[in-house]
Amino acid sequence: MFTGVIQSLATVADVVPEPPGKRLLIRDAAASRVAAVGDSIALNGCCLTVVEVAGETLGFQAGEETLRRTNLGELTAASRVNLERSLRVGDQLGGHYVTGHVDAVGTLAERRDEGDWSTCWFRVPPELVRQMASKGSVAVDGVSLTLVEVQSGRFSVALIPHTLSGTTLGGLSPGGRVNIETDLLAKYVQSNVLPPSASGGFP
């Protein structure tokens, strides 16, 4: 479990093919000092297991399904990724509960920069907006954000200077793809209010 509060903007040191998946080598001095093999760490909001610790580099294995359903398959050496270590009991919850299970990949449709601030509109599969509400929470590339407007197939968020400088969202341009995870509570509410077929459950 995570909070969506990014702890560092890490760098991809290398991407090593391990068919049918890949090994992602991520350089982050702070995380590598405290991480151990078997730990769960979210990269761009996707929960992965540490399989290797070597100096300032952490190794992760991403399977075929993960690479297909997230933007991790697009990473190359020198790419930047949002990194968050898993939540421990007693830790401060600064964002919202994020599972690290990506629902879909969204696309930045529009970005309006106003000084050091930005308003971004993301396009997502229409079924995801049923789990969103204005002033609710959403994780975009693992970043916990407050929804501003929610429309059919898209939503907007307002990004403060700290978020723009400390996460991958600052360098995002229209057309850029991001991992989306809707609020866990909204999923449970939807599954209990709507019939199973309407909420994406069993037919």
Note the pLDDT tens digit of each residue in 40-96: 999 999 999 999 999 999 999 999 999 999 999 999 999 999 999 998 877 878 889
pLDDT at 37 over 50: yes
Closest CA to 164 of 109, 119, 103: 119
Q: Is the pLDDT of residue 139 over 50?
A: yes
- As its CATH architecture, domain 8-85 has Beta Barrel (2.40)
Give dist(CA 46, CA 140) in Å, integer: 10
Model confidence, pTM = 0.92
Domain boundaries, the chain: 8-85, 104-193
Which fold does the domain 104-193 belong to in CATH?
A: Elongation Factor Tu (Ef-tu); domain 3 (2.40.30)
Give the residue, 142 or 93, on which the prediction is more confident.
142
Tell me, what's the pLDDT at 203?
A: 35
Give me the pLDDT at residue 188, please. Answer: 80
Q: From CA 158, how far away is CA 124, in angstroms rounded?
A: 17
* Residue 61: predicted pLDDT: 98
Does 119 have pLDDT greater than 50? yes
Q: Average of pLDDT values for 151-172?
A: 97
Q: Which of 11, 16, 7 is nearest to 42 (CA)?
A: 7
Same fold yes or no, 8-85 and 104-193: yes
